[in-house]
Amino acid sequence: MSNAGDFAPNTKTHEMAMEDKITSVSKEKRVIKPAAEFQKQANIGSMTAYRKMYRESINSPSKFWAKQAKDFLVWRKPWNKVVEWKAPHAKWFTGGMINVAENCLDRHLGTARENKAAIIFEGEPGDVRTITYKQLHGEVCRFANVLTRLGVKKGDRVAIYLPMVPEAAVAMLATARIGAIHTVIFGGFSSSAITERVNDCEAKLVITADGGYRRGGVVELKKNVDEALKKTPSVEKVVVVRRCGNSVQMKKGRDVWYHEELEEASPVHKAKGFSSENPLFILYTSGSTGKPKGVLHTSAGYLLGTALTSYYVFDLKEYDTYWCSADVGWITGHSYVVYGPLCSGATTVMYEGAPNYPDIDRFWSIIERHRISIFYTAPTAIRAFMRGGDEPVKKHDMSSLRLLGTVGEPINPEAWMWYYKTIGGGRCPVVDTWWQTETGAIMITPLPGVTPMKPGSATLPFFGVEPEVVDDSGRKVPKNSGGKLVIKRPWPSMLRTLWGDDKRFKEQYWSQFPGIYFCGDGCRQDKDGYYWIVGRIDDVLNVSGHRLGTAELESALVSHADVAEAAIVSKPDEIKGSGVVAFVTLKAGRNGSDNLKKTLREHVGKEIGPIARPDEIRFTEGLPKTRSGKIMRRILKEVASGGDRYGDVTTLEDFNVVARLAKTGEDE
């Protein structure tokens, strides 16, 4: 139990900082020690080993990164300088020459990995394809020759708009192989999103498919491309993968079939070395307002970041079957479906379809049939499965799993425990990995088998990462107080700029604290040095003068047995200045009643204190989410205050959710 007194600010010392301080209300205390059996075989064997290596990475970064770059990558020409840092611009491994595709493919040939599965693909209808490293190499070489023949040169932009099929990985790797720049556009985006992105980077060529399978139907991708390309003067050619066999229109002189081009192409392609800082890809990430930002990543540093984290965070072993359920349209798909695992010679699984098709147990069925050993997914998916109860999981043999991971949002301790116990059977460490499109690779994370885990915390920094929690003036805040999360030094896989908009790059990430990267997240560091992300700074609530992150309040609601998911926003309140509105989805079979509203308010009061008790609770069938599963609190805020100016909703997964949400307040 707690009382409001706990939250009384110490006005003497904190008067000045009140504005930017975030009050933490979490009472989460559990510590889960990883199993000894896991530790015995882990790629990093102890906390002592982690701390030693971390210290080296911070005290002698150039020496540390030089060693990793030698151990994890193959080079055409060694670098002269590890890092050149003129804030906010970094260059890594300058003077070095490298080919990213060679690092993911050619290096494994002539080794025992040659005939190992590089990709195991499962389509939504149930079709399965296994592609070995040798086969993948052959296909990428052929397609690299096709791209060259179609006029793509080093530095040209290639847009990829495909379903989650192996050809997506082939397209990315072939583009990289010839030194061109890819921009993957998520297959769920509309034609206007394609137009905007293609025009922003002036893509010369588009790779798409006739369609992709989703929830039993066909998403007509080529049709969307045709519509989008009415307004894209830069596009000269379109390559179409045949996936569903649905009829498409091929524009003469512009459109060619992937399979026909490949048939004619030679499987021999000699990879050239490109400079370390050669751009590898642009990935558009939508801010809450304004046009999408084209995050630019380059070659060597990015690849090193993804390879190193793949090895240590996922504890990759030669025999693992590794599955990251993210779409290649997101950074997680780039870094942890394609580049990280393939550079490490791992077997990476790709699944095309919806998580709940034909049934809610599809993921568990995939894990059982392919004997997946490492599984990486998002909290939103975990909560959705949790909502469906344990039965769908129990139908499957999940004993092949040895490691679980999560990314995308703060994971509430309740969902963490469910994931750990029900999916992992209490055997598997859970790595809660904090990172961003901009960071390229995992930044804050446990090392499995080694780092004692705290449900809801991403725990400790990865090698070379120096985070800090600061107030608005950039001063480090005391342990256990909230503030802004910054990264104090450059790291190899960091974004280099925003495509065509270096001014926005500087403003967005480097203007708050000169020379220091501000990620936009609120955070708290506990007494053990563990980091707890409390949500986006833009979403912070103001309750009676206290600034509260969204994650802790939502997590308190979700810890109630009837609640599946919750999102909290503030709304203007005439008396208090602002009030707290909770949108709540319930577990299957539970009923939203006035009684339950009362119970939930009391529950939150008990869990974290009376000040955080929501003023209003609204039960809803679903929450507005981005297509990668992040809750769009900006829309909920608008709904809560009775408005309908939702702003940019192009990344919204399902607009019907918003329409239904608007009705949730009507009985109030």
Which residues sit at the interface with ligand 7RM, rule CB under 6 A? 285, 331-332, 407-410, 432-437, 458, 519-521, 533, 536, 628
CA–chain centroid gap for 184, Å, is 14
Find where tokens 């010839």 sit. Answer: 178
Residue 543 to residue 568: CA distance in whole angstroms:
12
CA distances from 350 to 42, 322, 375, 637 (A): 25, 10, 12, 36
Question: For ligand 7RM, which is the closer residue by CB, 331 or 612?
Answer: 331
Smallest separation (angstroms) from ligand 7RM to the CB of 409: 5
Question: For ligand 7RM, which is the closer residue by CB, 222 or 633?
Answer: 633
Question: For ligand 7RM, which is the closer residue by CB, 355 or 520?
Answer: 520
Residue 520 to residue 402: CA distance in whole angstroms:
33
Nearest Cα to 51, choosing from 459, 473, 518, 623? 459
Nearest Cα to 238, choosing from 187, 199, 203, 195? 203
Alpha helices in 7-119 (DSSP H): 11-14, 36-41, 47-59, 61-72, 100-104
Question: For ligand 7RM, which is the closer residue by CB, 269 or 536?
Answer: 536
SS3 at position 41: helix
Question: For ligand 7RM, which is the closer residue by CB, 61 or 490?
Answer: 490
Smallest separation (angstroms) from ligand 7RM to the CB of 59: 27
Question: For ligand 7RM, which is the closer residue by CB, 22 or 271?
Answer: 22
Q: Torsion angle of alpha carbons 338, 342, 346, 349, nearest 10°? A: 30
SS3 at position 661: helix
Question: For ligand 7RM, which is the closer residue by CB, 105 or 516?
Answer: 516
Q: Tell how strand 255-257 and strand 430-432 pair up.
A: unpaired
With beta carbons less than 8 A apart as the criterion, state whether 159 and 185 touch: yes
Tell me how far apart the terminal alpha carbons of the chain are, to the nearest angstrom. Answer: 30
Residue 114 to residue 110: CA distance in whole angstroms:
6
Smallest separation (angstroms) from ligand 7RM to the CB of 519: 5
Smallest separation (angstroms) from ligand 7RM to the CB of 283: 9
Residue 597 to residue 617: CA distance in whole angstroms:
6
Smallest separation (angstroms) from ligand 7RM to the CB of 628: 6
Smallest separation (angstroms) from ligand 7RM to the CB of 520: 6
Indicate the length of the chain as a whole number. 668
Smallest separation (angstroms) from ligand 7RM to the CB of 37: 25
Question: For ligand 7RM, which is the closer residue by CB, 432 or 653?
Answer: 432
Residue 375 to residue 593: CA distance in whole angstroms:
37
Question: For ligand 7RM, which is the closer residue by CB, 366 or 411?
Answer: 411
Smallest separation (angstroms) from ligand 7RM to the CB of 238: 28
Smallest separation (angstroms) from ligand 7RM to the CB of 444: 7
